[in-house]
Amino acid sequence: MSKASLLLASVFGVGYIRNAPGTFGSLAGLPVAYGVHLLAAHAAARPLADLSPTLIHIIAGGGVCVLLTALALIIIGRAEQSGFDHDDQRIVLDEVVGQTVALFAFPPNLLVYVLGFALFRFFDIWKPGPIGYIDSQWPGARGTLLDDVVAGIFSAFVLFLGFSLYSFA
């Protein structure tokens, strides 16, 4: 199981890229975010009680992101027990999950993905407020993964604000 967890935590070797493995991990998250968006859009296409399709999309996509986070927590924990250091650069599964969290609720187009990617990388590198606290104070896989999840939430919030303000202009 240790070889499988190392392979998955490195996203099939993406984490072994020498320069900027986190950036390449975030790029690997773009097709995952697109897949989660498609799953959520499929769920939203089916009428459910009096819920709006947008709400169904967010609930379904959020549920998939929670599932991805739980699986990544297990995989990263096993990878850290099997030879990777805490928050090892080779672990890029956390970037994939964080990038997915940042983008799943938005329409998949080039502008959204470029802005979402840039915002996620900004928050993941800068680590303001709770992101930095989680990164430095939470041990093990929780700290490795959840700082990226929170960076994804920050990115999604800024995207939402930006598009909301732009649509009112």
Burial 75-94 (b: 16+ CB within 10 A, else e): bbbbbbeeebeebbbbbbbb
CA distances from 58 to 5, 44, 84, 103, 136 (A): 29, 9, 34, 11, 30
Asked whether the beta carbons of 28 and 14 are under 8 A apart, the reply is yes
Helix (H, G, I), strand (E, B) or coil at 98: helix
Question: How do residues 116-162 score in pLDDT, each as one tens digit?
Answer: 999 999 999 999 999 999 999 999 999 999 999 999 999 999 999 99
The distance from CA 35 to its chain's CA centroid, rounded to whole angstroms, is 13
Cα separation, 59 vs 68, whole angstroms = 14
Alpha helices in 82-138 (DSSP H): 93-103, 110-126, 130-137
pLDDT at 47 (0 to 100): 72
The range of the structural domain enclosing residue 109 comes to 2-168
CA dihedral 84, 87, 92, 97 (to 10 degrees): 130
- Model confidence, pTM: 0.95
Count up the domains in the chain and report the number: 1
pLDDT digits (tens, 9 = 90+) for 8-40: 999 999 999 999 999 999 999 999 999 999 999
